[in-house]
A and B are shown apart, each in its own frame.
Chain A
């Protein structure tokens, strides 16, 4: 039963993610870690222009400047068909895959899915 609910929610969430991916700016996009469903990621530039990965893991907030770790991790921005996107794009990708932050920052590896777009 639990499995069916999980499958159903994934089926419902996928079209939502695809809809959201259409034109949401990166800095207004919020991603959820698919594996846990309760960890969150936002990505945007700080006032100095550096790209920041801002994680909310449970009750903990963690910000990491991408220039500092980009040579040590694997990070991919993927469109709704999981094709790689230009990393310089201001458009929020449908998925972000990150590997390698666990040993240096305690951030779990995995794929983050666009969960919502904050409109102003």
Chain B
């Protein structure tokens, strides 16, 4: 049985696109809906957000690896349509200025894992990605990359108890 990755992403013309992709249509539908809800909620707080990156191809991942921008050579969660980077929208331009702690609250409220705490606010992380959200726990990533797991519509990362 297929999933959004095999049925849509792999067949999309941008599957091997080496450029950054910010199209929400390459987000898995539940993830897309939740990202939309986060953007709306931020807007209500007076913070305009823009989607900066959704899908990331293997070619782009390798290019970023060669630039020393990522430790993952082949794919990450972005490749599967389950992750999104949201930055501030200042007059139509992306901005990383200021605090992004609000995104953690909104991500949690909408059932997404925030890169600022990786779903575990009690654990201190030295390096965080404060404008990244994903619909997949860190524990599930190896199964996702191996092609043995993909979330269904009811999947909630905060209720996920993966079998060891």
Please list the residues of chain A having a beta carbon within 8 angstroms of any beta carbon in chain B.
Answer: 27, 42, 44-52, 54, 62-71, 77, 86-89, 101, 104-106
In the bound complex, do residue A47 and residue B67 qualify as a contact, i.e. CB atoms below 8 Å apart?
Answer: no
**Secondary structure call for the B interface:** loop
Closest 5 CB pairs of A and B: A87-B68, A49-B72, A105-B96, A52-B127, A66-B69
Q: Which residues of B contact A67 (CB under 8 A)?
A: 53, 64, 69-70
Q: Which residue of B lies closest to A107 (CB)?
A: B96
Please list the residues of chain B having a beta carbon within 8 angstroms of any beta carbon in chain A.
Answer: 20, 52-53, 64-72, 76-77, 85, 87, 93-98, 115, 118, 125-132, 134, 138, 141
Report Cα–Cα, A46/B138, bound state, in Å: 11
Q: Which residues of B contact A44 (CB under 8 A)?
A: 126-127
Can you list 18 A-B contacts with CB-CB less than 8 angstroms, sorted by A residue number? A42-B127, A45-B70, A46-B115, A48-B72, A48-B129, A48-B134, A48-B138, A49-B72, A50-B129, A52-B127, A54-B128, A65-B115, A65-B131, A67-B64, A87-B68, A104-B93, A104-B95, A105-B96
Q: Which residues of A contact B67 (CB under 8 A)?
A: 70, 87
In the bound complex, do residue A88 and residue B68 qualify as a contact, i.e. CB atoms below 8 Å apart?
Answer: yes
Report Cα–Cα, A42/B65, bound state, in Å: 19
Q: Which residues of B contact A50 (CB under 8 A)?
A: 69-72, 76, 129, 132
In the bound complex, do residue A45 and residue B68 qualify as a contact, i.e. CB atoms below 8 Å apart?
Answer: no
Q: Which residues of A contact B131 (CB under 8 A)?
A: 65, 68
Report Cα–Cα, A45/B118, bound state, in Å: 13
